[in-house]
Amino acid sequence: MKNKFKLSGLALLGASLTLPSTLLAQSYIVMTKGNKLDSALIQEIEAQGATVTGQLPQVGMLMIESDNSDIRERLSSNAKIQSTFADIELQFVSPSEQAMPEISFEEQSINPPASGDDDFYFDLQWGHDAVNAPEAWQAGVKGQGVRVAVLDSGIMSSHPDLAPNLNTGLSTSFINGEAYNSPAGSHGTHVAGTIAAADNAFGTIGVAPEAEIVTVKVLSGVSGSGPFSSIFQGMVYAADIDADVINMSLGADIPRNCTFGEDHFPAKDCAELFTALNRVTHYVNKKGSVIIAAAGNDARDLNHDASLKAFPAEGNHVISVSSLGPVGWGLDTSTNLDVMASYSNYGKSGIDIAGPGGNYDLAFTYGAAPCNGPVIPGFPCYIYDMVLSTTPTGWGWNAGTSMASPHVAGVAALIISENGGDMSPVEVERELMKRATDINQPGKDDQSGHGRASSGY
């Protein structure tokens, strides 16, 4: 029997926001003391009625399954074990929904906006202008020599905008029965394109169009779900292959009391989840990878809401990204690009930096009316305030902190590339914050953290 916690996804449009309210009652994560694993410990665990299904010796973790509901208690007396807690499966995107609306490959010739760029949808990517990406390109800084791991739902590996920069040899999946590119995840494809779609006279361009993409599937392309053990495995793998940047456009609000609706689980399970996360992020940081993650879309004050904790955004060594976007860009392309998205989480202690994630408030005032600006005829005006990127069938718009995070990851890739492709996570974070554009009060604020990400050019 496999059950799941009820959690919330991060993408606002084109993705499911809720999960079935159940728990993986038979699946657990075991954390050892001193980050050590040995064959004797595995035998001791199996003697208590558990089966070891996976190992992360780098961080002293085991994944186990057991039919014994008291497995926590059975293992608690083992002097080598720090804790045993329930594995949690997060459903992030609904398999029945895509980015919306979409432009298919067959429709790519439909009246693209007039542009001086040969990537025919580039003019609709206002987020690149917001983070000063084109100015970096003009200086020869395009992400070359930088490896970005995208932990998500997979990728359409044959997409013309993605294939040139995708490292197929290193891309992998931690979802049983699924390859990294089959089935291709719409969410992961969208995120990857924002980071590093190639500048190839076709479609869209990524913020860092010459960076290398490594797709690490930690969410199913079929169900949109994945256990936290897969996420931990993906993070460690990305660090071990020397990823310079790890983008995590995924997450959930974890109740501190571990109560999900009518379901209550030991509070220690949720506390240990963050202990495990911080053990993994510490390892990743030491290996030299910077972690950038979406802050969440619940319009929640991370500074004062003590009942919930955002995973992984509030983990150690994680750069948490809030979301900005224009309102009415399709009517006036000179409009302010730095309007705080109404859905974005905020809070000075929980937000490090902001990125272009898109807005949709125009839908409430302008409805589905088309735009009269330099846009594609026939689409509702509000979509142009969202983020356009790659999808498995072409291109599509989406909004959320899931879209803000890859903009910041792309900027991080530009910064690392500018510095010869070798920077420590501390150095990358320092430069990100230093170059960020203050858009609210001077210094760090509760909406945009240190400011809106910028290439510095």
Which phi-psi region, left, alpha or beta, contains residue 165 (left: φ > 0; alpha: ψ -120 to 50)?
alpha
Catalytic residue among 128, 159, 187, 190: 187
Full DSSP string of 24-64: -TTEEEEEEGGG---HHHHHHHHHTTEEEEEEETTTTEEEE
Query: How far from 399 is each of 169, 280, 322, 382, CA to CA, in Å?
Result: 30, 29, 12, 11
At position 73, the amino acid (one-letter code) is: E
Catalytic residue among 119, 152, 352, 445: 152
User: What are φ and ψ of residue 182, in 5° steps?
Assistant: -150, 115
DSSP state of 386: S
Which phi-psi region, left, alpha or beta, contains residue 370 (left: φ > 0; alpha: ψ -120 to 50)?
beta
Q: For residue 70, indicate whether it is catalytic.
A: no
Q: Can you say how many angstroms the Cα of residue 58 is from the centroid of all Cα atoms in its chain?
A: 23
Q: For residue 242, indicate whether it is catalytic.
A: no
Full DSSP string of 84-105: EEE--EEE-S-TT--SSSEEEG
User: Around Cβ 163, how many Cβ atoms within 10 Å?
Assistant: 15
DSSP state of 187: H
Catalytic residue among 225, 289, 323, 402: 402
SS3 346: strand
Query: How far from 381 is each of 364, 370, 373, 414, CA to CA, in Å?
Result: 11, 5, 9, 31
Q: For residue 402, indicate whether it is catalytic.
A: yes
Q: Which residues are known catalytic residues?
A: 152, 187, 402
